[in-house]
Amino acid sequence: GLNFIDLMVRQGNIDNPPKTPLVPGFECSGIVEALGDSVKGFEIGDRVMAFVNYNAWAEVVCTPVEFVYKIPDDMSFSEAAAFPMNFVTAYMMLFEVANLREGMSVLVHSAGGGVGQAVAQLCSTVPNVTVFGTASSFKHEAIKDSVTHLFDRNADYVQEVKRISTDGVDIVLDCLCGENTGKGLSLLKPLGTYILYGSSNMVTGETKSFFSFAKSWWQVEKVNPIKLYEENKVMAGFSLLNLLFKQNRGSLIKGVMDKLLNLYTNKKIKPVVDSLWALEEVKEAMQRIHDRGNIGKLILDVEKAPTPLMANDSTETSEAGEEEEDHEGDNENKERMPFIQ
């Protein structure tokens, strides 16, 4: 699986980035080739998906058994590689942190991305949940059925939400950070929960930008605990990777995966795969995520041959980023297009 956090790792936009040489990637699917001496519950040949603390973008991956899960018979390997990060993140935020219940409302940014689509699907499993989403306008047609109210990411979504729901929303899921933090808090109803789970506004070019980092930091509204107390609002953060690999909560995630796989088996949720890419095409795949061009998840497939370049292909790196997304539709004819039909 290819995630936005992989771009942040590449640019050094995370705390204590690992030293190079480095194999990136945090999730994968495949077939068990070997087992540790004390491993129970798995056999060689099992189809599995797994979390990995780096090194997932490889032909052979080794990870502790607590991070490995069997793939349902009717789930493809590409779907399995798209499943763990997005759906566990969405489930934990909605049900473990924000306590989503019938009749609540949720605002999610990047509604067309992997986590955004997982959030929308999980919200549909609870009666009468209203989902407000922001996304680039060219994605609206493809995702309009999964979101109750969809807004252009460049529009004034605060006013749009308040026009529909005058007292705001119960849950805000923010992967952007920057000025969106203050906007999200302003939209919360009493007893509402704001959750920060990413900071993609810091990724605006090919390399780490001190300017974009500083701009994003200073745009964050300084949170006064007294104000939270007076307004009855909850502010939270969520990092799945830290929960798994630094805070040793693998057993908690195992229980969540069991619930999610049960929902998949009952056809309540299904991973959205945007496209498959060969390992040699990782640059182009990362550029597609960087330009926010994907709907759902991008997958690196070790068995896939590179797609031949189109006649008008450009291998130059685009500087289009979070600020310039309204131009990204123009990029569609400039890249390899190994999309799933």
Domain boundary assignment for the chain: 4-209+219-300
| Closest alpha carbon to 326 in 95, 156, 169, 135 | 135
Q: The tokens of 233 are what?
A: 């609002």
pLDDT at 191: 96
- Stated as kind and residue range, the H or E segment containing 193 is strand 188-196
The mean predicted confidence, pLDDT, of the chain is: 85
pLDDT at 293: 86
- Contact status, residue 94 vs residue 240, Cβ threshold 8 Å: no
Residue 201 has pLDDT above 60, yes or no: no
- Residue 328 to residue 326: CA distance in whole angstroms: 6
Q: What angle do CA 17, 23, 29 make, to 5 degrees?
A: 120
4-209+219-300 CATH = 3.40.50.720
Q: What angle do CA 274, 136, 104 make, to 5 degrees?
A: 90
CB atoms within 10 A of CB 165: 17
Name the burial class of residue 264, with classes exposed (0-12), middle (13-18) and buried (19+) by CB atoms within 10 angstroms of its CB.
buried
Could you tell me which residues are beta bridge partners of residue 64? none
pLDDT at 328: 41
Residues 6+ apart with CB under 8 A from 290: 7, 203, 318, 320, 321
Please, which pLDDT band fits residue 223 given cuts at 50, 70 and 90? confident
Lowest-pLDDT range of 79-83, 215-219, 258-262: 215-219
Residue with the larger pLDDT of the pair 331 and 126: 126
The 10s digit of each residue's pLDDT in 130-146 is 999 999 888 999 899 99
Name the burial class of residue 158, with classes exposed (0-12), middle (13-18) and buried (19+) by CB atoms within 10 angstroms of its CB.
middle
Interval 222-243 mean pLDDT? 90
- Give Cα 176 distance to the centre of its chain: 11
Please, which pLDDT band fits residue 334 given cuts at 50, 70 and 90? very low
Kindly list the distances between the CA atom of residue 76 and the CA atoms of 48, 94, 272, 299, in Å, as whole numbers in the listed order.
10, 26, 12, 12
Interval 291-315 mean pLDDT? 77
Please, which pLDDT band fits residue 98 given cuts at 50, 70 and 90? very high
DSSP letter at 58 equals: S
- Contact status, residue 175 vs residue 133, Cβ threshold 8 Å: no
Q: The tokens of 98 are what?
A: 């924000």
Could you tell me which residues are beta bridge partners of residue 150? 133
